[in-house]
Structure 1
Amino acid sequence: MIGGNSDEVGFVIIGRNEGERLALAIASVQRQAARAVYVDSGSIDGSVKLAVERGLPVVELDPGIPFTAARARNAGFGWLVRHYPELKFVHFIDGDCELVPGWLDYALGVLRADEQAQGELAGVCGRRRERDPHASPYNRLCDNEWNTPVGITHNCGGDVLFRVAPLRSVGGYREDLIAGEEPDLCSRLRRSGWTVRRLDAEMTIHDAAIMRFSQWWQRNRRSGYAMAEGLALRGEHEPGLRRGVVSNLVWSLPPMWLMWPVLWTRVCLRSGPLAASFITLGKLPHCQGQSDYWRRSRRERADRPAATRLIEYK
């Protein structure tokens, strides 16, 4: 049942070939809010038809411009504020996620209270969980990854509720980022005096559906690309990015492979053997992704523009 939030909040659902996952996402949103738009990035699985049949307006991105999640979110946000200029809040949700009942009312309550107190809270996110964490070790890793500390955060993730005004004030997401657009947005919000908070509440159920090693590799390669690009864009504001990039590079050097047991033991004592194994091995795809970014940057500096392509794992 839709609560009393229909005039104040709108949802942006983004997707690319999500199939039945998209049907679950749409249904979960429509149970809690009346205003939503679906943004499609070149799906060929009937996603657009499904969204239309569920009564959603659809924005189809021009395939002549490289697809990114950031571009899709901005397109949906733009559609909402044009059609509903009175909106005060916008909630983004990925098409492979399902909104948890009760989350929206709770999150809106937090933002409204902060707004009344003239606080600096731009947005809130909650706990994202994997739908089937025991289906594969990769899904379990994702479920652990989503469990970030409660409180002020530097990365909201793809599912997040924002106040419209601060989001507009920083220009939304940076559309040319193929990954890492959320920490980039949070960084710009912080530099403008805003904060984003992770609440101690269940928010969404995510379906990573990572069943193959090759999928895990591609996802980590994309993460490495985003880390290197993040360092180039905002390294002066986030020293941790440089440490992460250097760590990936150093531990990927063949002579350092002899020291992997040391790294594995150190991580294992903190996070357990599963995380230790994949964090250690993950240095390689992370470094590959960093190298992808640096090669593209060199081509662009040599006046040979390189098309930015998504690094997909599904």
Structure 2
Amino acid sequence: MSIELSVVLISKNQDWNITRLIESVLSATKEIQSREILLVDSASEDQTIELAKQYPIDIYRLQPGSHLTPAAGRYIGFKHTHGEFTLFLDGDMELCPYWLSKALDMIKKRKDVAAITGSRIDLPLATTSDEKMKIKQIANDDGKEVEKGGGAAMYRRATLLKIGQFNPYLHSDEEPDLCLRLRYSGYKILKLRQTIVLHYSDPSSKHATKIARWKRKLYMGAGQNLRYNFQTEFFWPYLKERGFAFAPIFAILVGILATVWYAKTKQSLPLFLWFSTFVLFFLIEARRKGSFYAAVGSLLHRILIIDGTIRGFLKIPLDPKSYPEDFEVVQVYTNKGEIS
């Protein structure tokens, strides 16, 4: 019997949420007879694997020495599942009711649609079950075309086999890369108004969150994609959509040139104008954001993006097909309902 739906979950040290995620997926897919669920774990050091083993799902564990990225988990997950459609979810999410049935109906009817997602609700990590809002079913939800699917989205397998799936070597921005290739190959990406997931995470506005993302190399993806696509037809479209680091890079270069000019000529006007423009920009940003703290966060974010983009672009690109399949098969849930 062919498999209608594959659900690929990725995780790394997320024992605080893994049971909630798996139970939400089992609940949402209980009416789908031909489905498979695979958890690809990135060498977790907590109880993620032990908790996941309590459920009727397949579990693969990437080895600690591997190149561990969210994209790698998706790459391995897609390669080792077989569903006509593949739903990808992150380990810090909870799949919401109503979305899956709508999405399956839509993608089956619309052959021009290669990917479909939905609205996402971000919640603090400490949110309890009692604090969550009740998800309501939305009527007359035909979706709208969007540029990318995000971390929670369902894809048509045949299309990904045709144009290529996730690049496992990308530290981030794997979804914009894949979705750009889909769109420029003539396919559409839809977003339903119906909520697809609750996403539990630290507030992105916190300076510590930004620095933590930088330490995990999550700002390098844009630069990597520019390097990968440097001599392809996707370079300029990607630069147009995702090259938001280049304006700050240009501003920094102007500042460097103004400083060099002052050092050589002792003419301070260019440097004064550059510095005045920077201060003015910061004050405008503080007013727009509502506080100096938020403006500092915005400046920090831009600096980290610049750093990540440059480092990502300088990283030597590797063929996605060369990614080593270095993983342990922790658990296999057979069609007979047995765990081995």
Is 1:196 paired with 2:215?
no
What's the TM-score once normalised by structure 2's chain length?
0.70
Q: Is the 8 A contact 2:84 2:156 kept in 1?
A: yes
Alpha-carbon spacing, 1:271–1:151, altered in 2? closer, same or farther (3 Å): farther
Q: Equivalent residue for 2:136?
A: none
Instruction: Describe the shift of the 1:243–1:19 C-alpha distance in structure 2 as closer, same or farther (beyond 3 A).
Output: closer
2:194 counterpart of 1:165: no
| In 1: Cα distance, 2:287 partner to 2:249 partner | 23
In structure 2, the residue matched to 1:72 is 73
Find the counterpart in structure 1 of residue 137 from structure 2. Answer: none
Take 1:271 and 1:133, find their aligned partners in 2: how far apart are those partners? Answer: 24
Equivalent in the alignment of 1:129: 121
- CA offsets per residue over residues 66-118 of structure 1, 9 Å max, x none? 1121121121122221xxxxx32110000110011111111112112213xxx
What are the residue-to-residue correspondences of 1:38-49 with 2, within 5 Å?
38-49=39-50
Bigger Cα displacement from structure 2, 267-276 vs 182-191: 267-276
| Mapping 1:211-222, distance limit 5 Å | 213-219=207-213, 222=217
Query: What does residue range 133-152 of structure 1 map to in structure 2 within 5 Å?
Result: 151-152=144-145
Matched, 1:106 2:106: no
CA RMSD, Structure 1 to Structure 2 (Å): 3.1
Q: Could you tell me how far 1:160 is from its partner in structure 2?
A: 0.2
Q: Which residue of 2 aligns with 1:63?
A: 64
Structure 1: 5+ residue stretches without partners: 1-5, 82-86, 136-149, 301-314
CA distance in 2 between partners of 1:247 and 1:36 (Å): 42
Which string of whole-angstrom CA distances, capped at 9 and with x for unpartnered residues, describes residues 216-268 of structure 1? 22425745422222222242233425752311313456665643454356667
Q: Is the Cα contact below 8 Å between 2:223 and 2:311 reproduced in 1?
A: no
Residues 1:257 and 1:79: Cα distance change in structure 2 (over 3 Å): farther
Q: Which moved more, 1:67-76 or 1:275-284?
A: 275-284
* Kept after mapping to 1: 8 A contact 2:71/2:169: yes
Instruction: Give distance in 1, aligned partners of 2:235 and 2:284.
Output: 26
* In 2, Cα distance between equivalents of 1:163 and 1:198: 15
More helix by share: 1
Q: Tell me the number of residue pairs that the alignment of Structure 1 and Structure 2 aligns.
A: 271
In structure 2, which of residues 195, 198, 204 is the aligned counterpart of residue 205 of structure 1? 198
**Residue type of the alignment partner of 2:106:** V
- Does structure 1 residue 20 correspond to structure 2 residue 21? no
Partner of 2:240: 240
Name 2:223's counterpart in structure 1. Answer: 228
- In 2: Cα distance, 1:242 partner to 1:80 partner: 30
Q: Does 1:183 align with 2:179?
A: no
Write the deviation string for residues 271-295 of structure 1: whole angstroms up to 9, x where unpaired. 7668655333311111221232245
Distance 2:73 2:314 in 1: 26
Distance 1:252 1:175 in 2: 32
Cα distance change, pair 126–249 in 1 and its aligned pair in 2 (3 A): same
**TM-score scaled to structure 1, two decimals?**
0.75
Contact kept, 8 Å, 2:149 with 2:175, in 1: the verdict is yes
What percent of counterpart residues are identical?
Answer: 25
Q: Pick which of 256-265 and 54-63 moved more.
A: 256-265
Q: Could you tell me which amino acid in structure 2 is paired with residue 213 of structure 1? A: H
- TM-superposed CA distance for 1:64, in Å, is 3.3
Matched residues in 2 for 1:112 and 1:261: separation?
Answer: 53
Aligned partner letter, 1:41: S
Q: CA deviation at 1:167?
A: 1.7
- Which letter does structure 2 place at the counterpart of 1:282? H
Indicate the SS of the match to 2:250.
helix
Q: Assess if the C-alpha contact under 8 Å between 1:235 and 1:241 holds in 2.
A: no
Which runs of 5 or more structure 2 residues have no equivalent in the other structure?
31-35, 128-142, 256-270, 318-340
The answer to whether the Cα contact below 8 Å between 1:228 and 1:245 also exists between their aligned partners in 2 is no
Question: Matched residue of 1:238: which SS?
Answer: helix
In the alignment, the residues of structure 1 paired with residue 191 and residue 249 of structure 2 have an alpha-carbon distance, to the nearest angstrom, of 31
**Which structure's CA Rg is the greater one?**
2
Deviation per CA, 1:7-61: give whole Å up to 9, x if none.
Answer: 5212111100011211111111010115311111100112111111122210112
Listed one character per residue, the Cα deviations across residues 122-175 of structure 1 (whole Å, up to 9, x for unaligned) are 01111111122999xxxxxxxxxxxxxx73222211110111211221221011
